[in-house]
């Protein structure tokens, strides 16, 4: 899959969400996901509308929003349609199946009702997938498992990561891929594969004071074989809207050029 195009991979993917994602990446020429980690509803909406044309996935942390209401997610859904991107609530579920089911479906945020993709830590065992699947599958939602993390000292490594992949392989109707740093597993034929979405991407700095570690789009896409770069502060942390757009275009181009190099189509 390292040399296959996103559109070739879309054709063999039976998960509606993964198929749509791969198709829109190809169409919009972007493998950039932006993490809009800001805390005011109006800022999220403004930045989402601004960045719509540059991104394939809008990543949210809905529980950091101070003035959350359902109108926010309704607006994000409309923007997702207008600009053709998917919404990924980075909820990082980590509890037993019965609990995550409620957290995913209900509560204040009703994540399953608006987020195309969400993610979960495999730490509780396979029940977490089963619980989320009961809610998400009928709604055509998809799940990513956290196989590795970008942060210093992460415990998600070695056998834990390999076991995560085995869990995903048993649930390919709902699990479309991973949050990770490397393409750990590649099935090596032309059947449905996993998507690798990678946070910890930055062009200017190597990390922050709280353990975040950054790599470049080239390292992520070409050297590590991942599919989507997730960038937060590197994009939204600009001084004004014009600079946010400039930065988004810079990361979009860096990610896309890296992809073209990987599939052997760079000029
Ligand atoms: N994130 C990571 N590393 C992981 C998993 N998730 O950084 O292993 C998330 C963070 C944040 C974003 O929760 O929303 O990706 C990275 O933001 P940044 O680019 O501003 O560091």
Using one digit for the tens of pLDDT, what is the confidence trace for 43-97?
Answer: 999 999 999 999 999 999 999 999 999 999 999 999 999 999 999 999 999 999 9
Percent of the chain with pLDDT over 70: 99
Strands 32-35 and 195-198, by their bridges, are unpaired
| pLDDT at position 36 | 98
Mutate to test the pocket of ligand 1, among 145, 161, 207, 232 (most ligand atoms within 8 A of CB): 232
Residue among 219, 250, 237 nearest 35 (CA): 237
Strand partners, 156: none
Strand partners, 198: 229
The answer, yes or no, to whether any atom of ligand 1 lies below 6 A from the CB of 199, is yes
DSSP per residue, 111-154:
GGGT-SEEEE-STT-THHHHHHHHHHGGGT-EEEEE---SSTT-
What angle, rounded to 10 degrees, do the helices at 97-105 and 127-136 form?
A: 30
The H-or-E segment that residue 33 falls in is: strand 32-35
Confidence tier at 197 by pLDDT (50, 70, 90): very high
Mean pLDDT of the chain: 97
Ligand 1 mean position, distance from CA 199 (Å)? 5
Confidence tier at 214 by pLDDT (50, 70, 90): very high
Ligand 1 mean position, distance from CA 181 (Å)? 12
User: Is residue 111 a contact partner of residue 118, using CB atoms and an 8 Å limit?
Assistant: yes
Burial class from Cβ neighbours inside 10 Å (0-12, 13-18, 19+) for residue 179 reads buried
| pLDDT at position 82 | 98
Average pLDDT value for residue range 20-29: 98
Handedness of CA 86, 87, 90, 92 (dihedral sign): negative
Note if 227 is an active site residue: no
| pLDDT at position 267 | 65
The answer, yes or no, to whether any atom of ligand 1 lies below 6 A from the CB of 62, is no
Per DSSP, the three-state class of 26 is helix
The answer, yes or no, to whether any atom of ligand 1 lies below 6 A from the CB of 90, is yes
Ligand 1 mean position, distance from CA 243 (Å)? 21
Confidence tier at 250 by pLDDT (50, 70, 90): very high
Ligand 1 mean position, distance from CA 255 (Å)? 17
The catalytically annotated residue of 29, 95, 130, 250 is: 95
DSSP per residue, 144-211:
EEE---SSTT-S--HHHHHHHHHHHHTTTTTEEEEE-SS------SSS---EEEE--B-SS-SB-TTS
The answer, yes or no, to whether any atom of ligand 1 lies below 6 A from the CB of 13, is no
Q: HSE on the CB side for 258, CA within 13 Å? A: 23
| pLDDT at position 101 | 98
The tens digit of pLDDT for each residue in 153-168 reads: 999 999 999 999 999 9
Confidence tier at 186 by pLDDT (50, 70, 90): confident
| pLDDT at position 1 | 61
| pLDDT at position 190 | 82
The answer, yes or no, to whether any atom of ligand 1 lies below 6 A from the CB of 136, is no
For 67, 188, 190, 247, 263, the CA distances from 1, given in Å and listed in that order, are: 42, 7, 8, 29, 9
Average pLDDT value for residue range 34-45: 98
Note if 69 is an active site residue: no
The catalytically annotated residue of 19, 29, 77, 92 is: 92
The answer, yes or no, to whether any atom of ligand 1 lies below 6 A from the CB of 89, is no
Note if 130 is an active site residue: no
Average pLDDT value for residue range 228-256: 98
Question: Which residue CA neighbors atom 14 of ligand 1 most closely?
Answer: 35
Average pLDDT value for residue range 8-21: 96
């Amino acid at each position: 899959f390292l040399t296959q195009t996103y559109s070739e991979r879309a054709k063999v993917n039976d998960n509606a969400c993964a198929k749509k994602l791969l198709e829109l990446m190809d169409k919009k020429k972007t493998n950039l996901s932006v993490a809009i980690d800001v805390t005011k509803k109006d800022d999220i909406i403004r930045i989402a509308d601004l960045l719509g044309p540059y991104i394939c996935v809008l990543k949210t942390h809905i529980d950091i929003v101070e003035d959350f209401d359902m109108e926010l997610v309704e607006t994000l859904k409309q923007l997702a349609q207008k600009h053709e991107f998917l919404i990924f609530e980075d909820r990082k579920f980590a509890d037993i199946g019965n609990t995550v089911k409620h957290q995913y479906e209900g509560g204040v945020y009703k994540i399953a009702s608006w987020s195309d993709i969400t993610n979960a830590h495999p730490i509780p065992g396979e029940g977490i997938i089963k619980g989320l699947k009961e809610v998400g599958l009928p709604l055509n939602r998809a799940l990513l498992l956290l196989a590795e993390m970008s942060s210093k000292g992460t415990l998600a490594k070695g056998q834990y990561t390999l076991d995560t992949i085995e869990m995903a392989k048993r649930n390919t109707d709902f699990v479309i891929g991973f949050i990770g740093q490397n393409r750990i597993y590649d099935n090596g034929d032309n059947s449905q594969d996993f998507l690798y979405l990678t946070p910890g991407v930055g062009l200017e700095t190597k990390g922050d004071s709280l353990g975040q570690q950054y790599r470049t789009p080239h390292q992520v896409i070409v050297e590590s074989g991942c599919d989507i770069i997730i960038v937060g502060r590197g994009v939204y942390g600009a001084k004004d809207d014009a600079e946010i757009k400039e930065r988004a275009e810079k990361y979009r181009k860096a990610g896309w050029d890296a992809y073209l190099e990987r599939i052997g189509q760079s000029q």
